[in-house]
Amino acid sequence: MVTSPADFIARSCICCASAQLDKSGAVLMPFVAKRVFDHDPVEVTADWGLRDLRAGMAYTLCNSLQCQACGVLFLDYRFTDAQMAALYAGYRDEAYTRQRDHYEPGYAAVAEHYHGRESYIADVERWLKRHVPARPAVLDWGGGSGLNTPFRGQHALLHVHDISAVELAEGAESIGPEQLVRGHYDLVTCCQVLEHVPSPRALIEQILPAMDRDTLLYVEVPHEALMREHPGSLTLARAKKHWHEHINFFTHQALHRLLENAGLTVLDSHLLPVDLGWRKAEVMGVLARLA
Ligand SMILES: [Zn+2]
């Protein structure tokens, strides 16, 4: 039984449904805990008068889970729709940035880098080009403003579906799930989204109605440093002591299983080193179509 959106705590793998999970205690970082649960860190002091507690800071507790079958490493909490909406309201706008900078001094300076199109998108387009027709009709699922949508500016059509309700970049048009038309799109992209969501499987299933036999789906997630540094390791739960907005750390195998279990065939995949200006990273991309 794959973890469903109704499960507040994951009971099985979010990608392959295996119940073999390794578990280790961790904390949810205060910004996320504040937005999702309205929790603030508290200091337990002697004047609480609690005999069985040691004095010190208390943070929102959680578990790190790692699937022993496909290797995906993830937070045990699976946020509800309302919690997700609270976490991502006004994503990276002024109020969001101010609040996050309060919990994470220095965030505002880093956030400056998010306002331009990432240079690695050109590399993604180069990789996709051999599969995708010229001037494609594109649907970007979870694409925020559409700023980083592949082929923006070279598109015949660009629809963006996103929960954050941010202002859209030039050329992008916002649509809701009820407006999806099957067969409308050459390419559906879902980039830098699955690492944020409580049920990657449910998200892929939401996308499927927009696809027909000729539609390609490009899914891209970060190849997180912890996963890069320990390829094939199944003992990463104990190494992951804190969780932030990326609540799922994927392996190639996990991503493939996720797509295949949703009825898709993986056509191609890549690892791409990216220079974000303020740090070096790597992304993992998979191209699939209906099986
Ligand atoms: Zn798994």
Question: What digits encode the pLDDT tens for the residues 134-165?
Answer: 999 999 998 888 889 999 999 989 999 887 66
- Give the DSSP letter string of 24-75: EEEEE-HHHHHHHH----EEE-GGG--TTS-SEEE--EEEEEEETTT--EEE
pLDDT > 80? residue 28: yes
Identify the domain containing residue 202 by its residue range.
21-290
Residue 2 lies in a domain: no
How far is ligand 1, taken at its centre, from the CA of residue 254, in Å? 6
The total number of residues shown for the chain amounts to: 291
User: Is-above-0.75 flag for pTM?
Assistant: yes
- For the four alpha carbons of 50, 52, 58 and 60, in that order, the dihedral sign comes to negative
Question: What digits encode the pLDDT tens for the residues 87-125?
Answer: 988 888 888 999 999 999 999 888 877 777 888 999 999
How far is ligand 1, taken at its centre, from the CA of residue 85, in Å? 26
Residue 92 lies in a domain: yes
How far is ligand 1, taken at its centre, from the CA of residue 69, in Å? 5
Residue 16 lies in a domain: no
DSSP 271: E
Residue 252 lies in a domain: yes
Residue 10 lies in a domain: no
Residue 123 lies in a domain: yes
CATH of the domain at 198: 3.40.50.150
Residue 212 lies in a domain: yes
**Residues paired with residue 217 on neighbouring β-strands, in sequence order:** 188, 288
How far is ligand 1, taken at its centre, from the CA of residue 21, in Å? 8
Helix (H, G, I), strand (E, B) or coil at 102: helix
Residue 15 lies in a domain: no
Look up residue 160 and give its two tokens: 């963006």
How far is ligand 1, taken at its centre, from the CA of residue 81, in Å? 23
How far is ligand 1, taken at its centre, from the CA of residue 72, in Å? 6
How far is ligand 1, taken at its centre, from the CA of residue 249, in Å? 11
Number of structural domains in the chain:
1
